[in-house]
Amino acid sequence: MKYESEEVWFPLSEDILAWDEDFHTLMLNDEIRMSAYEIAIKEVVKPNYIVVDIGTGTGILAQWALEAGAKKVYGIDVNKKILTLAEKRIEKANLKDKFVPINKISYEAELPEKADVVLSEILGNLGDNEDMTPILDDARKRFLQNNGVFLPKQIKTYLVPVSSPKAHRQIIDKKCRSISTKYELTELLNKLGIKSQFDIYYDSIIPSSSYLAKPILVKSFDFDGEDEAVYQTETRYEIETAGLLTGIKGYFIADLSANVTLDISGDDIAGRKTSDCLKHCYMPIENPVLVEPHDILQLTFSRSYPKEKSTPFRQFYGWDGKIFRNDKLLGEFRHGTYKVNL
């Protein structure tokens, strides 16, 4: 699927339970994601290992684990239709007797044995926007052997203030591309109860030429039981380039294994250095602020859940900021997916 820099796309991580085969096809054609995972799985999974693949989807990671010699792979996925595709794939590869499909949300799955490796790709472009923290914490407690390992082993989330008048214009006009008519912005806003199109983030490739300051690491996830799913981070950016501050770009760099890194920050679309299915996260600012070098942006980035957690995968992100010039307040913004009329 062709796309351009700074084009604003439907935020697929906010609509997980609606994912269909089209999105899985996009994932399967995502070169940087696929090649990193294949190499990492073949590095980590050893003959006779027991593997759990959380969110197995169409089963490609499970297949690679079996090809690496795994004795058994438990493939868990909440999406029944997609899990059927995994079963077909594994059958075609003549590996059916070593694959156990489980059509449940992982919290409700029970396994007869513990695993050497818990494998997953439940990553959003912010790292945790597909709720990986509690899902993998539960997996660590119930599925992983004492000396077992996670793949990915560490995720780091970075944020950077950016200038993208092109993305801003599309959001004003509520123009948002998507892989099919099934994913529609106004419908999603209604579903989530969000009134303003500036209170949701978008998938978009925001090039490094748009950066107004240096990216800062805001969160690191190690899956050791200490990761937080609810947090508030404060970061201070010194502006280096004059421009119109229109939003915040977020992205992750994941160590899949000791030797394989999946870095989604790239912006070379033609050179296949971008992740087609993840892109970057673009958190917009409704009233952009003209900034100059040495201005200071104090950014508060938060994640939480609705009080009544009725829908799985529903989460709240917030991005609030104050911009100072010579200690005087120049502008501020307050946005987030928590701004709902529940």
Does position 162 bind ligand SAM by CB under 6 A?
A: no
- CB of residue 4 to ligand SAM, shortest distance in Å: 23
Torsion-angle region of 282 (φ positive above 0: left; ψ -120 to 50: alpha; else: beta): beta
Tokens encoding 224: 């050791």
Q: Are 300 and 236 in contact (CB under 8 A)?
A: no
Does position 315 bind ligand SAM by CB under 6 A?
A: no
The residue (of 57 and 215) whose beta carbon lies closer to ligand SAM is 57
Binding mask 213-252 for ligand SAM (x = CB under 6 A): ----------------------------------------
Residue of 9, 66, 68, 106 interacting with ligand SAM (CB under 6 A): 106
Q: Which of 177, 183, 193, 186 is nearest to 279 (CA)?
A: 177
Residue of 44, 51, 60, 239 interacting with ligand SAM (CB under 6 A): 60
The residue (of 9 and 319) whose beta carbon lies closer to ligand SAM is 9
CA distance 95 to 101: 12
> What is the DSSP code (8-state) at residue 251?
E
Residue 152: cis peptide before it, omega within 30 degrees of 0: yes
Does position 276 bind ligand SAM by CB under 6 A?
A: no
Does position 95 bind ligand SAM by CB under 6 A?
A: no
- CB of residue 56 to ligand SAM, shortest distance in Å: 5
Does position 144 bind ligand SAM by CB under 6 A?
A: no
Tokens encoding 218: 């805001």
From residue 319, alpha-carbon distances to 166, 170, 232, 338 in Å are 20, 19, 10, 10
The residue (of 40 and 283) whose beta carbon lies closer to ligand SAM is 40
Binding mask 2-31 for ligand SAM (x = CB under 6 A): -------------------------x----
Does position 58 bind ligand SAM by CB under 6 A?
A: yes
Residue of 57, 152, 243, 331 interacting with ligand SAM (CB under 6 A): 57
The beta strands (E) that lie in the chain are given as: 50-54, 72-76, 99-102, 115-120, 144-151, 154-162, 202-204, 216-221, 231-238, 243-255, 261-263, 280-291, 296-304, 316-325, 328-336
CA distance 211 to 240: 9
Contacts to ligand SAM by CB under 6 A = 27, 54-58, 60-61, 76-79, 82, 105-106, 121-122, 135
